[in-house]
Amino acid sequence: FQANRDRAGPLLASLKAEGIGHVIDGKIVPAASGQTFETRSPIDGTVLATVARGNAEDIDRAATAASKAFKAWRDMPAAQRRKLLHRVADAIEARADDIAVLECIDTGQAHRFMAKAAIRAAENFRFFADKCGEARDGLNTPSDEHWNISTRVPIGPVGVITPWNTPFMLSTWKIAPALAAGCTVVHKPAEWSPVTADLLVKLAKQAGIPDGVLNTVHGFGEEAGKALTEHPAIKAIGFVGESATGSAIMAQGAPTLKRVHFELGGKNPVIVFDDADLDRALDAVVFMIYSLNGERCTSSSRLLVQESVAGKFIEKLTQRVKALKVGHPLDPATEIGPLIHERHLAKVCSYFDVAKKDGATIAVGGKPHDGPGGGHYVQPTLVTGANAKMRVAQEEVFGPFLTVIPFKDEADAIEIANGVQYGLTGYVWTGDMGRALRVADALEAGMIWLNSENVRHLPTPFGGMKSSGIGRDGGDYSFDFYMETKHVSLAR
């Protein structure tokens, strides 16, 4: 704990002294309007930094810089681009411990889960760095009369808009493939967590990424974010955030025919059948909703448990949730830190009344928590006695809040699991492999894990169905988004 605090001290002092500006064309610049906003720690409300508040003028400067830098970045030999992206990964790794503590202080996420976030971010850069040479790959499909060749070209300057949960890792997940594809980027990070996004663009510059290739404009969604989605020079928007924001972005981008890729909300089911390894299932259920403060798009926020084992399973689950340790995010013993913002705390807490009004039972938690620093802490909460129609079984709470719904049989489980507007992930626990595959096939979700919690493998497709998203990231899927496919036909 003390080592993390000692590490944070000087980092916070320089952050406070220097503030956070935009980084446009390789230069740190204030907002064109001169306006700023404050970013505060969810631990105790301390002002961490004064941040440039971007508007359409700042976005225009950044989009112009990204357009100017595009041709040289697109035409850079793949081997050279690969080397530069590996250098970014090296720079991230060298600062991994700093990134972890800053992320904890800016977002409230517990250090035990954040310690590896920068390492995962560096892996994102390495994975896509190694794919640079394949980015332009296409197909040869000769016909009797023509040599038919398809190839890919980067789409142009793109916008990346990211949310506040695990912001550093998530930003690299979008920015690394865009850069590897040969696109230049304007990044608009979440206004509630701007600190590590600022570090990322500075590390990229230090690693030798040319000026204008990665630009960061801070500010609010309705101002800077909106302007980015409307800018004619920006050819595509990679967005991670709420489903309602995705709809707004689609409308905003329509006049300029923006290509969009959306990773949105979820209300993901974990289905536990009575023939499952119940101890392993229990570990996974606890981990997938109560780690990362439950502020995780892939969290399993609905537990569907078979009636025949529900009583015993819920009893053990109750004990586990009661034992979770809420505390200061820099304390390695802490499992749940403060939620990102007072507005988000209020949203999560509003579901305690919703649960009661719906007629469900709050078996554990259900109140704000009095944690160190007086920040936005909440008790880990377990809701039982729910049915599939209740709001606590339908709406994304995005906190350490689990709703339990018992089911009778396989058909019942599938109907409940699919009976929501979302379709991001699903988790199935059973000893019957035939059933596991049948249920996986029937689930309306983009990603399904059988007898496993969520483990990312970078070549696999990542994304959601229904209101959980449009498009896939990962492996070659990312290049499909950031590149145009071009067909060339030569008469024989």
Chain positions contacting ligand NAD, by CB under 6 A = 161-165, 170, 188, 190-191, 220-222, 225-226, 229, 240-242, 245, 248-249, 252, 263-266, 297, 396, 398, 424, 464, 469
By three-state DSSP, how is residue 165 classified? coil
How far apart are CB 291 and ligand NAD at their closest, in Å?
14
Euclidean distance between CA atoms 402 and 407, whole angstroms: 16
Tally Cβ neighbours within 10 Å of residue 171. Answer: 27
Tokens standing for residue 151: 């190839």
Which segments of 307-375 does DSSP mark as H helices, in order? 307-322, 342-358
Element (H, E) at 425: strand 425-429
Euclidean distance between CA atoms 87 and 289, whole angstroms: 35
Euclidean distance between CA atoms 442 and 16, whole angstroms: 52
Tokens standing for residue 317: 């689950």
Complex with ligand NAD: residue 255 or 434, whichever CB lies closer: 255
How far apart are CB 219 and ligand NAD at their closest, in Å?
8
Bridge-based pairing of strands 302-306 and 269-272 is parallel
Tokens standing for residue 279: 């101890």
How far apart are CB 190 and ligand NAD at their closest, in Å?
4
Complex with ligand NAD: residue 216 or 379, whichever CB lies closer: 216
Euclidean distance between CA atoms 180 and 478, whole angstroms: 10
Residue nearest to ligand NAD (CB): 221
Complex with ligand NAD: residue 41 or 306, whichever CB lies closer: 41
Listed residue (401, 406, 416) closest to 365, CA to CA: 401
DSSP letter (8 states) at residue 20: B
Complex with ligand NAD: residue 266 or 269, whichever CB lies closer: 266
The long-range contacts involving 246-249, CB below 8 angstroms and separated by at least 24 positions, are 246/469, 246/470, 249/161, 249/225
How far apart are CB 456 and ligand NAD at their closest, in Å?
11
Give me the active site residues, please.
Answer: 263
**Angle in degrees, 0-180, between the axes of helices 167-181 and 195-206, rounded to the nearest 10:** 40
How far apart are CB 246 and ligand NAD at their closest, in Å?
7
Listed residue (363, 338, 366) closest to 350, CA to CA: 366
Euclidean distance between CA atoms 488 and 432, whole angstroms: 49
Taking only Cα atoms into account, the Rg of the chain, rounded to an integer number of angstroms, comes to 23
Complex with ligand NAD: residue 162 or 172, whichever CB lies closer: 162
Complex with ligand NAD: residue 161 or 390, whichever CB lies closer: 161
Tokens standing for residue 291: 């780690």
Complex with ligand NAD: residue 172 or 306, whichever CB lies closer: 172
How far apart are CB 424 and ligand NAD at their closest, in Å?
5
How far apart are CB 88 and ligand NAD at their closest, in Å?
21
